[in-house]
Amino acid sequence: MINKSNIDNSIAEFVNAIGKETPDALVAEFNNFEINVFKVYDFIPNLLLTIRSYVVKKNFKHRFENVRTIENGIFFSFHNFFKDPLDQNSSLRVKEELPHVKIISMNSQQEFTFHKNTHMKHIGILIGAEYLKGFLKDDAEKFEYLLECQDSFVVEEFMSDDVLRIINEIIKTENDTSLPQFYFKLKALELLYSLFKSLEKREQSVFQSLSPTEIENLYKVRERLIADLGNVPSLSELKSIACMNETKLRKLFIQIFGMGIFDYYQLIRMKEAARLLKENGRNVSEVGYDLGFTNLSHFSREFEKYIGVKPKKFQQDRIN
């Protein structure tokens, strides 16, 4: 049973913590969601941790704006890494977002579209750039594109096993831990540490500021890539969707998603293959053919390249 009063209190706490000048309007925006979980851990002025699960009830746009109580804030949103009652019990026919981490600068105004019937589950960490640099020390220079940027940017990253482990620990102990403020602050920092270990492996490049339209179009390219994992779209189609030439499209796609277009497509494809092998109990041949492979040896090689083991061994390990 969802405790509506607890959720309302947490929303009010969240709005007050981030210091919005028009809290009534922000609270009203939450009516766009069917909310199952909304928890807030307030370490203002340095850090804010939220745990949220909701279904979007209608299409709408939300503008991310600077948070007055955290100077030069950076928002880390860890999406879709835990199960909750909305997975089975929602009155809406919902669709899941892909698991990912989204990193957004709060210094600039950015607008994102929420799509009706999307089930969103995430842990959000809002942290001040100077506070974060205090932990990174000399390593901070590796991440200047995040810590020093005053312009619009979005960065996405896939999850390491360490990040998944920490998120599961947070969710499992969320209602059963002593000294919760102490515990969740440490967990938030541990989560960021594991994420930055992954970000450190990214190819160093010069980041450029992105307009809201460019960000939106690059996400449309991503959505087209994953819409049909059995058929990769042509580069000309993707250029048309992005309204960019090939050079710009390739560069900005890597800037946001951390890898080239085809590598991203193949990784998502192999992650879907792993999910089908693990959850649906289908054999390797069926999964390979469903994902557009006519040569199962090729499928096996690609699976091993991106997942780390051959598909048959992956499935056997999950069974055993």
pLDDT by residue, tens only, the chain of 320 residues? 456 667 777 777 777 777 655 555 566 677 888 888 888 999 989 999 999 888 888 888 777 666 667 888 899 999 876 566 555 554 545 455 667 899 988 876 667 778 888 888 889 999 999 999 999 999 999 998 888 876 677 899 988 889 989 998 888 887 777 888 899 999 999 999 999 999 998 876 678 888 888 988 999 999 999 999 999 999 999 999 999 999 999 999 999 999 999 999 999 999 999 989 987 778 999 999 999 999 999 999 999 999 999 999 998 876 65
- Helices (runs of H) and strands (runs of E) counted in the chain: 14, 9
Confidence at residue 13, expressed as pLDDT on a 0 to 100 scale: 75
Name the pTM for this structure.
Answer: 0.84
Q: Does domain 4-199 have CATH number 1.20.1070?
A: no
Confidence at residue 24, expressed as pLDDT on a 0 to 100 scale: 59
> 60-78 burial, b if ≥16 CB within 10 A, otherwise e?
eeeebeebebbebbbbbbb
Confidence at residue 201, expressed as pLDDT on a 0 to 100 scale: 87
DSSP code of 278?
A: I
Grouping H, G, I as helix, E, B as strand and the rest as coil, residue 234 is coil
DSSP string, 47-67: EEEEEEEEEE-S-EEEEE---
Yes or no: say if 19 and 69 are a contact pair by the CB < 8 Å rule.
Answer: yes
Confidence at residue 1, expressed as pLDDT on a 0 to 100 scale: 41
Rounded distance, CA 205 to CA 253, Å? 12
The domain spans of the chain are 4-199, 212-319
CATH architecture of the domain formed by 212-319: Orthogonal Bundle (1.10)
Confidence at residue 102, expressed as pLDDT on a 0 to 100 scale: 92
Measured in degrees and rounded to the nearest 5, phi and psi for residue 240 equal -65, -40
Confidence at residue 25, expressed as pLDDT on a 0 to 100 scale: 59
C-alpha distances in Å from residue 149, one per residue of 74, 129, 144, 207, 287:
10, 10, 7, 9, 43
Inter-axis angle of helices 261-275 and 311-319, nearest 10: 40
Measured in degrees and rounded to the nearest 5, phi and psi for residue 112 equal -125, 145
DSSP string, 154-216: EEEEPPPHHHHHHHHHHHHHTTS-SSHHHHHHHHHHHHHHHHHHHHTTSPP-------HHHHH
Rounded distance, CA 159 to CA 103, Å? 13
Which token pair is 33?
Answer: 């969601």
